[in-house]
A and B are shown apart, each in its own frame.
Chain A
Amino acid sequence: NAGVTQTPKFQVLKTGQSMTLQCAQDMNHEYMSWYRQDPGMGLRLIHYSVGAGITDQGEVPNGYNVSRSTTEDFPLRLLSAAPSQTSVYFCASRYRGYNSPLHFGNGTRLTVT
């Protein structure tokens, strides 16, 4: 199994550009989420989804959109990139059960200039 796959691994954007970070999992996990990791801030939840067609906001949703049209995919869209969105982004998934641990992707390092 591939687990959680994130693409791209690295990306450089200019302010105002848009892009989509891809996330796919092959474990049939109902729950998927996006975190951003910044030095001294830990991981902060951006958006999450408990199943296809259902999404909800996390701690820092502004500037990001998500959709969940299939169980496998959970793309994160930056509509107009800003330097404050320079970060490492992690996608994670798990089964919906209460005691199911998260499985993380390898991360996407995004730089906005």
Chain B
Amino acid sequence: AQSVSQHNHHVILSEAASLELGCNYSYGGTVNLFWYVQYPGQHLQLLLKYFSGDPLVKGIKGFEAEFIKSKFSFNLRKPSVQWSDTAEYFCAVKANQAGTALIFGKGTTLSVSS
């Protein structure tokens, strides 16, 4: 079964700082990878996803993530964070086969100070 590990529990940054949130997964087969964001008091929203092709995927609000197959990683990046990026970020993985569920990491809380 697949699993997801997010290395950072809580990240604190100042506005304009660069962001990188780590995500590693364990699964030997083909996977689909996702980053979801949950703003305070809201439900989860899809930030970006990777299924195949270019391993560098761009999402909404200036976020991007790079899939490195050899490292089983899918780290989320943003060159310059804003106060409005304060949220909880979840990495998720799904095996690329029928009947499998999406498995989430434990989440990383990002706090951005203005």
Query: Which residues of chain A have a CB within 8 Å of any CB of chain B?
Result: 33, 35, 40-45, 48, 50, 56, 58-59, 90, 92, 96, 98-99, 101-102, 104-107
Q: Which residues of the other chain, B, contact A58 by a CB distance below 8 angstroms?
A: 101
Partner pick for A99 among B51, B90, B98, B99, CB 8 A cutoff: B51
The reply to whether the CB of B103 lies closer than 8 angstroms to some CB of chain A is: yes
12 A-B pairs with C-beta separation under 8 A: A33-B101, A42-B90, A43-B44, A43-B90, A43-B107, A45-B101, A48-B101, A59-B103, A90-B43, A98-B96, A99-B32, A104-B45
Contacts between the two chains (Cβ within 8 Å), count: 56
Quick check: B46 and A98 within 8 Å, CB to CB? no
Quick check: B104 and A43 within 8 Å, CB to CB? yes
A49 to chain B, nearest CB (A): 10
Chain B at the A interface: SS class: loop
Partner pick for A101 among B49, B90, B103, B104, CB 8 A cutoff: B49
Quick check: B101 and A42 within 8 Å, CB to CB? no
Quick check: A101 and B101 within 8 Å, CB to CB? no
Quick check: B44 and A90 within 8 Å, CB to CB? yes
The reply to whether the CB of B105 lies closer than 8 angstroms to some CB of chain A is: yes
Q: Which residue of B lies closest to A106 (CB)?
A: B43
Residues of chain B in range 77-113 having any CB-CB distance to chain A below 8 Å? 90, 94, 96-99, 101-107
Give the size range of B's interface with the partner: 20 to 34
The reply to whether the CB of B34 lies closer than 8 angstroms to some CB of chain A is: yes
Give bound CA distance, A40 to B6, whole Å: 11
Mark interface residues in B6-43 (1 if CB within 8 Å of A CB, else 0): 10010000000000000000000000101010000011
A87 to chain B, nearest CB (A): 14
Q: Which residues of the other chain, A, contact B44 by a CB distance below 8 angstroms?
A: 43, 90, 92, 102, 104
Quick check: A40 and B106 within 8 Å, CB to CB? yes
A101 to chain B, nearest CB (A): 5
| Closest 9 A/B residue pairs (Cβ) | A42-B106, A43-B104, A99-B51, A104-B44, A104-B43, A42-B107, A42-B104, A106-B43, A101-B46
A68 to chain B, nearest CB (A): 14
